[in-house]
Amino acid sequence: MSTEANKLATGELGGVVVGTDAHWYAIRTRSRHEKMAAQQLGMLGIENFLPLVTQTHRWSTGPKMVDVPLFSGYAFVRITYTPEHRLRVLRTHGVVDFVGVQLLLDVGLDAAHFLDHGDIAGAGAEGDAVQGPSRPGQLSAA
């Protein structure tokens, strides 16, 4: 295995180490720059996740199938949250900012499961009732 491939396999390409203390974080991207940001992050060796859905768009040349981001304006990165790694992500073309500073998605997001089934691993079955937070000033029904 080449040195470059070994660094990629261990998550150490481009100075970004993905170790046991690495977590997923949401990032905000420039409008319509999600794919570019994900590509740039990948070239830097930063693990990222950009969920895409296929939609039919109609143009004057006819309908075309287009992959569009599931969450417009957002992507996800898996890093060890240090000032150096955070700055490296923020300097990537198309990345605007981190969404908050809390880690995210370590509660069972399995990207392969999501891509295969279209839902988040660990989510309830279709049709299950979900109770969200009450709005300010609204009493809970429980």
Q: Which two tokens stand for residue 56?
A: 């039919």
Answer with the residue of higher pLDDT: 119 or 3: 119
CA atoms in the 13 A half-sphere facing the CB of 69: 19
Is there a contact between 86 and 16 (Cβ–Cβ < 8 Å)?
no
113 has a pLDDT exceeding 70: no
Can you tell me the distance from the alpha carbon of 49 to that of 2, in angstroms, rounded to the nearest whole number? 25
Is there a contact between 78 and 27 (Cβ–Cβ < 8 Å)?
no
Which residue in 48, 40, 26 sits closest to 94, CA to CA? 40
Can you tell me the distance from the alpha carbon of 62 to that of 60, in angstroms, rounded to the nearest whole number? 5
Can you tell me the distance from the alpha carbon of 28 to that of 60, in angstroms, rounded to the nearest whole number? 32
Is there a contact between 3 and 76 (Cβ–Cβ < 8 Å)?
no
> Which element (helix H / strand E) includes 91?
none
Spans of all domains in the chain: 16-117
Which CATH code is given to the segment(s) 16-117?
Answer: 3.30.70
Q: What is the pLDDT of residues 75-103, one digit of tens each?
A: 999 999 999 999 999 999 999 999 977 66
Q: What is the pLDDT of residues 31-71, one digit of tens each?
A: 999 999 999 999 999 999 999 999 999 999 999 999 999 99
Q: What phi, psi does 36 have (nearest 5°)?
A: -65, -45
